[in-house]
Amino acid sequence: MKISIVTIVFNDIVNIEKTIKSVLTQTYKNIQYIIIDGGSNDGTVEIIKKYERNIFYWESSSDQGISDAFNKGLKQADGNYIQMLNSGDTFLNNKSLEEAMSLFTEHEIITFQAVTDTGNIFPKYLNSYITEANPKTIDEAIKNSMFSHQATFISKRVYQKVGGYNLNYKLRMDFDLFMRIQNNYNISYIKKPLVFYPTDGMSSKLKNRLNFKLEELRIIENYKKDIFFKIVFYFKLPFYIFKKILSAIYYNLRNYFINFSHGKLVTILQYFTDKVDDYWHIIYPITSNKDRSEDKYLYFYDISRKATDYNGQFTKDGLYMFLGYDGKYHLHALELSQYSLACWLSWRKSMDVKWVEKAMLHCDWLVNNQEPDGAWRIEHKNPSYDDLPLPWASGMAQGLAISSLLRAYMHTNDNKYLETAKKACDFLELGIKNHGVKRYFSKNNIKGFIYEEYPRKELNGVLNGYISAIIAIYELSCIDKNYKKQLDNNIFNLKIILPLYDLGYWSYYALDENIDSGFYHRYIIVQLESLEKIDIEFKEYKKIFKKYRDNRFYQLKAFFKKVVYKI
């Protein structure tokens, strides 16, 4: 018996490979494997290509959402039964499918149990075997979402009769399908865990829970004519939503503390104090005007500890490597540029020549690896940003690189470092549509632009990354007056858009309304104090953000706001 397995995926480089391996290593071999990718640009497609010899069909193109992707997979599938195993879902072991096949019945729909990453078995109430002979139980199962589509096999004939997934539903398309089939086909429930699935998918996000239940209500209204049932459903709906909110808070806090680390403790404490830090949350001290006037290598604030406190890996040539979100080390232009600048400052603090050598090594890498348009593009990305292109340029990376290269120029008087810095600065003016970082936007009746630290499809607007780029332009304009106009435009623009980052009691990290952590709020104050030395008007916003920082009520309010955002 042939089983068609359909995996849909979009920008999930972290999980797609484990799903592919889970399918391809099954001891049951009569599998037709199909992958539908929604046009990923994060490296997912490259992983699929690694296994394409063992994949019956795969494609990568834009779609209209999950339902559309499912339907594309159904169109290619011709197995006796079809299973939907999404990216991130896996079989429990390599014999799972073989063991499931031994339990198959003659029914058109056969559903097993699934295990979640929180250890729950879903559904858990099943008897050893329940069939269509008990329609009330089956109706109850469907009504309470007791199917796991990852662990369900539906015959090709059923799909041909009832059709595919409804494009009108973004979250509960599987519930709609089961409502269409429940009264027309025999269903076998088998009390045996078959697959594992993570609980961080689309429908599990707190902001989607209300839409999830509302879609369910629309579906029930289409298929259920029982007025009493609808009244009960409406009555239960607010209690359900409240229960799900409490559940989401519990599991997020539970997972947070299970994976608790020193870094997370520091993140929490920095809402309330600047007396603690770690490598990733260093509270940078301001450099005085007097010190900067006496030493041309000094920066507006001292980031030297980003070099002296680093205990990670380097390449065989001595280049800084970033410990990525996948647990592996990568060359990362943003982090490398920051380390390079930190080496210059470490030299000035210790006068140890080794730091000059390290700084020059990294500046030479920047010169030799700059792309023709002036960018340094990054191959590794934060998986939270699904819509970030790969590779991607960063306004912050450009700024930090410029500042480091200018110090190499001052140290050697070699024009190649200055010219590389100029080219990097010119790139900042390249628009998003041309694979650059400059984005014009309008938000809350305020029009402006920003150099994106993360040039996603939609507006992101990370403030600290933009300010790092402005400081770099200022430093370049002190050497080449031709950049004074670019500096003036950015100073004027920042004054216009800065109110967008003012929450009234704290600061936003970005224009997608992600609130600052304690660390980033304190960092923005340091940056505003730096900008104050360029334009005195920034002093007022520095005072406002300092007032927020020093207010205990605002600290607590910001902390809980961040917790809710994370959930």
Mean pLDDT across the stretch 166-172? 76
Structure confidence at residue 548 as a pLDDT band (50, 70, 90): very high
Contact 331, 304 (CB under 8 A): no
pLDDT at 565 over 80: no
pLDDT at 254 over 60: no
Task: Kindly report which listed range (138-142, 397-401, 497-501) carries the lowest average pLDDT score.
Answer: 138-142
Q: In whole angstroms, give the CA distance from residue 194 to residue 188.
A: 14
Q: In whole angstroms, give the CA distance from residue 40 to residue 380.
A: 14
pLDDT at 204 over 50: no
Q: Which of 155, 2, 28 is nearest to 93 (CA)?
A: 28
Residue 439's Cβ-count burial label (10 Å; 0-12, 13-18, 19+) is buried
Q: What is the mean pLDDT of the chain?
A: 86
- The set of residues, in sequence order, having a beta carbon less than 8 Å from that of 330 and lying 6+ positions away, is 321, 322, 324, 379, 380
pLDDT at 268 over 50: yes
Amino acid code (one letter) for 448: G
Mean pLDDT across the stretch 474-499? 97
pLDDT at 414: 97
Domains of the chain: 3-200 (3.90.550.10)
Q: In whole angstroms, give the CA distance from residue 504 to residue 438.
A: 27
| Residue 161 or residue 226, greater confidence | 161
pLDDT at 189: 80
- DSSP assignment of 465-511 equals HHHHHHHHHHHHHHH-GGGHHHHHHHHHHHHHHGGGGB-SSSBBSST
pLDDT at 241: 63
Alpha-carbon distance values, 26 to 5, 29, 50, 475, 492 (Å): 12, 7, 18, 59, 61
| Residue 96 or residue 225, greater confidence | 96
pLDDT at 135: 39
Alpha carbon 519 to its chain's center? 20
| Residue 249 or residue 487, greater confidence | 487
* Tens-place pLDDT, residues 419-469: 999 999 999 999 999 999 999 999 999 999 999 999 998 899 999 999 999
* Tens-place pLDDT, residues 281-320: 999 999 999 999 999 999 999 999 999 999 999 999 999 9
Q: Which of 118, 138, 412 is nearest to 248 (CA)?
A: 118
Contact 306, 342 (CB under 8 A): yes
* Tens-place pLDDT, residues 363-376: 999 999 999 999 99
pLDDT at 390: 84
- The set of residues, in sequence order, having a beta carbon less than 8 Å from that of 415 and lying 6+ positions away, is 409
* Tens-place pLDDT, residues 95-144: 999 999 988 877 888 888 888 766 677 765 444 444 443 334 444 544 44
* Tens-place pLDDT, residues 470-486: 999 999 999 999 999 99
Structure confidence at residue 223 as a pLDDT band (50, 70, 90): low
Q: In whole angstroms, give the CA distance from residue 467 to residue 480.
A: 20
| Residue 390 or residue 360, greater confidence | 360
Contact 469, 489 (CB under 8 A): no
Alpha-carbon distance values, 273 to 260, 282, 357, 547 (Å): 19, 12, 36, 14
